[in-house]
Amino acid sequence: MSFRDLYEQYCKQGHAYTYGTAGFRAHNSVLDTVMFTTGIVAVLRSIYLKSKFVGVMITASHNPPEDNGVKVVEPYGEMLVQNWEPIATKLANAASSSFTQLESTLQSIIAELNIDTTQLANITVARDSRESGPRLLAALKAGISVFPAVKIIDFELLTTPQLHFLVYSLNTSSQPSQVRDSTYYDHFVSIWNQLTQLYEVTELPFHLTIDCANGIGADKVKQLISQAGHMLENSLTAVNGETKTFQLLNESCGADFVKTNQTFPANCNPKPSQLYCSFDGDADRVVFYYVDGKENKFHLLDGDKIATLLAKLIADLLRDCGLSDTLKLGVVQTAYANGSSTKYITDKLKIPVSCTKTGVKHLHHEAVSRYDIGIYFEANGHGTVIFSREFLETVDSRLQETSGNEQQYKSLLSLKLLSQLINQTVGDAISDMLAVIATLSIFNLKPEDWDGCYQDLPNRLTKVIVPDRSVFVSTNAERQLLSPEGLQAKIDLLVTQFPNSRSFVRASGTEDAVRVYAEAETTESAIELATKVGELVKLFG
């Protein structure tokens, strides 16, 4: 089919697209056009990078079932480089205008970047379990097929982090043709077994129930558990795995529901001192929680608690092998991080903390550029740990030198295995879950012990719907608003009325909403502050 015929078949005019926090997201009915142009972007990116494999994931992660979205994965598993986001937006909006506009925009991009479109492009695609996925995949493939020399690997249904991992594997393997979805399970199961054997862990100190948000993570985590053998089979149970009943995705379950509502998801039967966790729709985030035996109260162990747990383990291991002063360890957070977590990491663990804008792409960049071991987690459970080349080389060479000292050798080997147990390409609910339960087993911690390292300040996260969220422009890692004019001063004034409180407002990059966060000394104050700030947002919006 000609370019024009493909355009006529797959594109519609009239919608305005923006590349948001995590790619393009909207109601599925307006996404065919942007799928088509994202196919084109992926091909251009692959050719521009000398035919490296570039990934495209169709997902709307935590958003409702009728939404969908698309994001591009770089050859080494990162999110699309930020200077290509405007290219993706420009092409989508050109297609949304007319075929002539799309054709001329494409020609000018090709000329500007000096891309030879006859060269080979290698593209890998996957999708989550949403009903609109197959239709949107067809539009994506149509966009890809505009070019003459393209090789597509369609992994079909995957979690987002699995695709990131496989794109990385394809570009780094000496035998790319051998990379398949089993590569993911083989890798993580093997490292899990080695790390737990090193510490002679034969059972977990709790039972873990995994709420899979009725998303693709359900099938994938079950596959991993069955491959890992009886320790995980005996201690882990997956619930909310109804991937075929599309409307159940993220409905009263999943990481976003649990984090926002601070309560148990549907179909979980809370038992004191047992551990629970929730994935989101494409299993790129995870939060943990439990109910205590004394007051039967729900306790959230969110991204901040995951970051501090891993930071403690890594800091201990670095100390034990004498590398604390050689390798720079740091934690990256966003404005949503609980004030108590930042204080604990800085004052107790003595580890530096940086703060960036929301969006893993920002945290990732900060972690890579500042630290040898950069731990980054958003409070919503999205995050990972990045280990530098310097780290790997140092640990490898010390492992060869340290034959006599058993304790040092064990710490070095643990660091190495940990760097392999964590999916460094992107936040990964399955791999983060394994890293957390391995750490809890090594320290022999129950959920309450983990939670006890610091106490969260009471907090509340709400959403406000306004006619145009783009008027909410923030600065200072999203902690202050530049516009609407006058709103920040009003928020500052409100905050002075609640002791030890803070609050900020920012436009979501994945939903048509403005988010309001408030933290205070008591839950009542946090709720009251969030409510009052929300009322101001409505007024100014």
Among 187-195, 277-285, 299-307, 342-350, the segment contacting ligand G16 (CB under 6 A):
277-285
Query: For ligand G16, which is the closer residue by CB, 284 or 366?
Result: 284
Give the DSSP H or E segment for 374. strand 373-377
DSSP string over 473-508 = EEETTTTEEEESTTHHHHHHHHHHTSTT-EEEEEE-
Read off the tokens for 170.
């394809």
Contact 266, 341 (CB under 8 A): no
Size of the site for ligand G16 (CB under 6 A): 18
Judged by CB under 6 A, the residue of 120, 292, 509, 512 near ligand G16 is 509
What single letter denotes the amino acid at residue 406?
E
CA 188/CA 356 separation, integer angstroms: 29
- Which residues in the 407-466 window bind ligand G16 by CB under 6 A? none
Rounded to a whole number of angstroms, the minimum distance from the CB of residue 362 to ligand G16 is 8
Task: From residue 460, give the alpha-carbon distance in Å to each of 196, 508, 522, 525.
Answer: 37, 16, 11, 10
Q: List Cβ neighbours of 452 (8 Å cut-off, separation of 6 or more).
A: none
Taking residue 17's Cβ as centre, other Cβ atoms within 10 Å add up to 22
Among 95-103, 289-297, 484-492, 510-518, the segment contacting ligand G16 (CB under 6 A):
510-518
Residue 365: which of 86, 374, 45 has the closest Cα? Answer: 374
- Which residues in the 18-77 window bind ligand G16 by CB under 6 A? 21-22, 61-62
- Which residues in the 93-112 window bind ligand G16 by CB under 6 A? none
270 near ligand G16, rule: CB under 6 A: no
Query: For ligand G16, which is the closer residue by CB, 237 or 508?
Result: 508
Judged by CB under 6 A, the residue of 380, 431, 439, 525 near ligand G16 is 380
Among 41-49, 99-107, 480-488, 503-511, the segment contacting ligand G16 (CB under 6 A):
503-511
Tell me if residue 61 is catalytic.
yes
- Which residues in the 350-379 window bind ligand G16 by CB under 6 A? 358-360, 378
What single letter denotes the amino acid at residue 134?
P
Query: For ligand G16, which is the closer residue by CB, 88 or 445?
Result: 88
Contact 277, 450 (CB under 8 A): no
Task: From residue 225, give the alpha-carbon distance in Å to each of 230, 266, 275, 378.
Answer: 8, 22, 17, 26
CA 1/CA 169 separation, integer angstroms: 33
The number of residues in the chain equals 541
Is 282 within any annotated ligand binding site? yes
Is 380 within any annotated ligand binding site? yes
Contact 86, 112 (CB under 8 A): no
Contact 22, 61 (CB under 8 A): yes
Rounded to a whole number of angstroms, the minimum distance from the CB of residue 303 to ligand G16 is 9
Active site residue: 2, 29, 61, 388, which one?
A: 61
Query: For ligand G16, which is the closer residue by CB, 47 or 363?
Result: 363
Rounded to a whole number of angstroms, the minimum distance from the CB of residue 509 to ligand G16 is 3
Rounded to a whole number of angstroms, the minimum distance from the CB of residue 158 to ligand G16 is 14
Judged by CB under 6 A, the residue of 85, 251, 284, 451 near ligand G16 is 284
Is 320 within any annotated ligand binding site? no
Is 507 within any annotated ligand binding site? yes
Rounded to a whole number of angstroms, the minimum distance from the CB of residue 122 to ligand G16 is 24
Judged by CB under 6 A, the residue of 510, 528, 530, 534 near ligand G16 is 510
Bridge partner list, 238: 210
Rounded to a whole number of angstroms, the minimum distance from the CB of residue 278 to ligand G16 is 12
Rounded to a whole number of angstroms, the minimum distance from the CB of residue 450 to ligand G16 is 23
Is 389 within any annotated ligand binding site? no
Query: For ligand G16, which is the closer residue by CB, 238 or 514?
Result: 514
Query: For ligand G16, which is the closer residue by CB, 241 or 254?
Result: 254
Residue 463: which of 520, 506, 399, 433 has the closest Cα? Answer: 506
Residue 216: which of 199, 189, 238, 187 has the closest Cα? Answer: 238
Interior angle at CA 231, CA 226 and CA 236, nearest 5: 70
CA 39/CA 88 separation, integer angstroms: 10
Contact 273, 290 (CB under 8 A): yes
Rounded to a whole number of angstroms, the minimum distance from the CB of residue 331 to ligand G16 is 16
Residue 40: which of 100, 105, 97 has the closest Cα? Answer: 105
Taking the CA atoms of 286, 166, 58 and 18 in sequence, report the sign of the dihedral they define: positive
Is 304 within any annotated ligand binding site? no
Residue 179: which of 139, 120, 119, 122 has the closest Cα? Answer: 122
Query: For ligand G16, which is the closer residue by CB, 281 or 447?
Result: 281
Query: For ligand G16, which is the closer residue by CB, 16 or 149?
Result: 16
Is 322 within any annotated ligand binding site? no
Is 39 within any annotated ligand binding site? no
Which residues sit in the known binding site?
Answer: 61, 280, 282, 284, 378-380, 506-510, 515
Tell me the catalytic residues.
61
Residues making contact with ligand G16 (CB under 6 A): 21-22, 61-62, 280, 284-285, 358-360, 378, 380, 382, 508-511, 515
Binding-site residues from annotation for substrate:
378-380, 506-510, 515
Per the annotation, where are the binding residues for Mg(2+)? 61, 280, 282, 284
